[in-house]
Structure formats: structure tokens, C-alpha cells
Amino acid sequence: MTYSSLIFASVILPLSVLFLFFDRSSEYKNLCLCITSLLFVTWGHHLLAGAIFVTSIVDYLFALAVEGSLKRDKSRAVTFLVLDLLVNAAVLVFIAHNEIFGEDSGLHINSLFLPVGAAFYALKNFAYVYDVFSGRCKAESSPFYFITYGMSYPFMLAGPAVRYSEIAPQLRDRKLTAALMSRGVKSFALGFIKSVIAVPVFNSIADAGLYAENAAGVGSLVGMLAKFCAVWFTFTGMSDMGTGIACMNGFDVPLNYTRLNSKLMLGGAVKCYNTSMVNLFKDIRGDSAATPVWTVILAVCGAAFYSPKPVFLVVGLITGVILAGEYLFAYDRIERFPAPVKAIVTAVIGFALFSPLAFDSFGEWTGWLSGIAAGSSETNTAVFGLVKNNLLIIIICLAAVSPIGTLIENAANRLSKRSAGHYTAVRVTEAVLTAAALAISFILLAANTAAA
């Protein structure tokens, strides 16, 4: 099950939120969250739910062992941390790369039953044990509170992969206010709209430009740009929905991404995507003479998080080298560069560096590069036909992630501050547009579900 599945968005989520109003205590809210999370992960495969529950208990015990060992023998604490890393790495492989198991192995899970992005579960729980090891937080003594955190479905997919030190107080005491509910509904709606409307449009253009037979020409280049957009809106859409669900459960949490920017060149651009992983890796690498080396190692680990394919690992290695070079050059120097120069250089490096990830091998990537110059009226016709048919959606999406979106948002905020009447007009307009897009999203999803 995913956040954007029809049964979840139209039945499970509304009912789970409704039940929260039956009792105001945090214990009751946690129980409702655990039950809903169990339903979310068991929908389709009991083995997946069993693995997640067992490893949550393992993380809970390892954190206690790490905390106890720090007082007596730090080397033993390191051993427990490494063991927890291995356990969560195994979970990562099981969830994110389950295709390596044969269908007759008993470990194979139909991809339809795997929550997209559930590998964040392993990242989040290892981050908890690491934070106990580094002294960022104390080990949780109550298994109930930790399992609530460890198995919570709002934190399981693309974020917010919140650290335990940030969320622990809210597990014991949180209130579901009208403002938090409003923010949650708005965030979930935005992510749902991205996932149902924007992502399929960009995926269809990418398929026509990159993966069609004899794909070539300018249409193939547009297909690559569409692939970048599809990945961005997929990730940010899931993060928006996760944040929205968390808010609707009474948690005040941040998004797992920021607006695209090139303030610090590639380092700044990378931090816009999956900020929770970047912040965890930043804590691990520290700030010392070994930081450049750790930057390269962690960049490769970050690439492996998404895929063990050689093309991902090589791109991760190159990315790590560039990030290490930026660190050695010093980010304060980079900030002195003119903003247009940083934007252009970052865009060129990012496109050249990450475009191979759209293919299974570098051979396919080089074939795509040579095909761009070859020209193909068939590919161009298919791609630009899709662009023409979805032009309004594409313009809205690109404007939203560009500086234009920031300008519009700032202008709306300034207008809303002029008077109560302006504030009401801005918010009503925003609500009407969101509701209309959400209604269209549900209709499209229902139609696609029925057709499947």
C-alpha cells in the first residue's frame, strides 16, 4: 500500500484520523497510530510486516545496549552500532531490493505489495541508534513509545525521516489542533496531487523520449528532463503526504526536502533532496581532516541506498569526490560567486552527473547521448505531442519549483497581510484551487484503478 492508493486515501486515512477525536490522550493516539501502521504494512504481505516489527524490537534493544556499553566499554558500543547497521542494511535490501530474491525462495515479495520508499524505515531506525551512540538522545526505555516511532507509517516512506530526539517529546504529549490539522490536510493534498497528476505526466514523456524503440533526437533530451521532474515530484509528493499524515496525527514535523537552489553549488542542490539523510551523513562525517574521505564514502552509501547497480555506485563516487572538493575549497568562498553562475554550473554538473541514473548501464547512457544528435521525427512527434496535451500541467509544475513559485507565494502572503478581507480572499482562493485539483486527482485515480 502507498499513500496515493485509493483505498488508503479515501478510507483508511479518513477513518484513522476520525478515531483520533474519540480520546485526547497521547497514549490513545499512539495506539491508533500503531494499529493503522500495522494495517498499512500488512496490506498484501505478512512477511514484510513481520520483518519490520522484529527489526523495530532489535533497534530498541541495540539502543539500550549501546547506551549501557558507553558507560563501561566504548568498543562494545561500537560493536552494537555496527551490528545494528548490518541488521538495517539487511532490511534495506529486503525491502528496497527484494527483486534479488527468487520467486521460489520464500523471501520474494510482489512489488505491488511493497510500499514505495519504505527503505526510509531502515534509515530512520539506524539514525536512532546512532544518535544514542553519539549522545544526541537517550535510549527509549518504553518499547511501546519506540515501536510507535519505529513503525509509524507517516515516517516510513519518503519522509519526514525525523530523528528520535526531535519526535520523542511529541510521542508523550501532543495535541491535534485545528492549525495542525489544516496544515496536514493541505500538505497531504499537495502531495496527492503531485503523485496522481504530475508524476504520470512526466513519466509518460520520459518513457516516450528515453525508452521507446529507437528513441533519439531532441525529444529524447526532453524525455531526460521529464525524468528528472518525475523523480523530483515522486519524492516530494510522498514527503508532502507523509508530513501531512504526521500533522493529522498531531506531530509537528518538517518536510524532507527544500526548494531547489544552487546556493552552495552541488552541495546545496543535494541537500534540497532527502534532507534527513543528508543531515544524518553530515553528523556522521563530522568536521575534521577525515571529512573529505567520509564525504566520498557516505556519498557511495547514499547511492547504494537507492540502488546497488554499478551505475548508481559510480555516480555516487563521483558525487562524493565533487562534494569533497567543494568542502576543501570552502563553502564561504562558493557563496561569493554570482548567483547566475552558480545556477548554470550546478545545472550542467547535475544534468551530466545524474542523467546516467535513468538507465541500467553506462552503455545505455552513452547510446542515449549519441542518439540526441541523430534526430528522430518519430520520437520528437511522440514527446512533443505529450507536452502539448499536458502543457498547462507542465507549466504549473515547473513554475511551482522555480523562483516564480517563490515570488507568487511571497506576493500572496504580502497581500493576505493587508487586511482581514485580503487574508480571507487569498486563503479561500487557495482552498478552492486545492480542493478542485484534489477532486480531479481522486477521479483520475479511481478511473485508473478501475481500468487496472
Tens digits of per-residue pLDDT, 89-105? Answer: 887 777 766 666 656 65
Total residue count of the chain as it appears in this document: 452
Kindly report the backbone phi and psi dihedral angles of residue 375, in degrees, each rounded to the nearest multiple of 5, phi listed first.
85, 140
Report the mean per-residue pLDDT for the chain. 84
Q: Are residues 237 and 341 in the same domain?
A: yes
Give the whole-angstrom CA distance, residue 414 versus residue 433: 19
**Would you say residue 317 has pLDDT above 90?**
yes
**Would you say residue 110 has pLDDT above 70?**
no
pLDDT the model gives residue 14: 87
Nearest to 131 by CA among 1, 232, 279, 13: 279
Give the whole-angstrom CA distance, residue 132 versus residue 139: 6
Q: Is the peptide bond before 403 cis (omega within 30 degrees of 0)?
A: no
Q: Are residues 193 and 137 in the same domain?
A: no
pLDDT the model gives residue 172: 86
Nearest to 220 by CA among 361, 102, 365: 365
Residue 431 lies in a domain: no
Q: Worst-scoring range by mean pLDDT, 115-129, 189-203, 328-342?
A: 115-129
**Would you say residue 229 has pLDDT above 90?**
yes
**Would you say residue 286 has pLDDT above 80?**
yes
Q: Are residues 285 and 160 in the same domain?
A: no
- pTM confidence score: 0.84
Maximum separation of any 2 CA atoms in the chain, in Å: 71
Sign of CA dihedral 289, 293, 297, 300: positive
List Cα–Cα distances, 374 to 293, 357, 426, in angstroms: 41, 22, 49
Q: Are residues 189 and 53 in the same domain?
A: no
Q: Worst-scoring range by mean pLDDT, 145-159, 232-246, 298-312?
A: 145-159
Residue 445 lies in a domain: no
Nearest to 326 by CA among 307, 345, 354, 304: 345
Q: How many domains does the chain have?
A: 2
Could you give the angle at the alpha carbon of 377 between the alpha carbons of 372 and 380, nearest 5°? 65
**Would you say residue 16 has pLDDT above 90?**
no
Residue 399 lies in a domain: no
Answer with the one of 345, 374, 403 that is the final residue of a domain: 374
The amino acid present at 63, given as its one-letter code, is A
Distance in Å from the first CA to the final CA of the chain: 15
Q: Are residues 227 and 159 in the same domain?
A: no
Region 379-400: what's the mean pLDDT?
90
Q: Assign 308 a pLDDT band (cuts: 50, 70, 90).
A: confident
Region 275-295: what's the mean pLDDT?
86
Q: Are residues 163 and 276 in the same domain?
A: no
Question: Are 45 and 115 contacting, i.e. CB atoms less than 8 angstroms apart?
Answer: no
Q: Are residues 164 and 189 in the same domain?
A: no
Q: Are residues 129 and 219 in the same domain?
A: no
Question: Are 246 and 154 contacting, i.e. CB atoms less than 8 angstroms apart?
Answer: yes
Region 321-345: what's the mean pLDDT?
85
Q: Assign 371 a pLDDT band (cuts: 50, 70, 90).
A: confident
Chain-centre distance of CA 48, in angstroms?
20
Q: Are residues 232 and 365 in the same domain?
A: yes
Measured from the Cβ of residue 152, the count of other Cβ atoms closer than 10 Å reads 25
pLDDT the model gives residue 113: 44
pLDDT the model gives residue 18: 87
More confident residue, 43 or 82: 82
Residue 75 lies in a domain: yes
Answer with the one of 174, 202, 228 that is the final residue of a domain: 174
Task: Give the structural domain span for 147.
Answer: 6-174
pLDDT the model gives residue 112: 45
pLDDT the model gives residue 161: 63
Answer with the one of 324, 344, 374 that is the final residue of a domain: 374
pLDDT the model gives residue 311: 92
Residue 387 lies in a domain: no
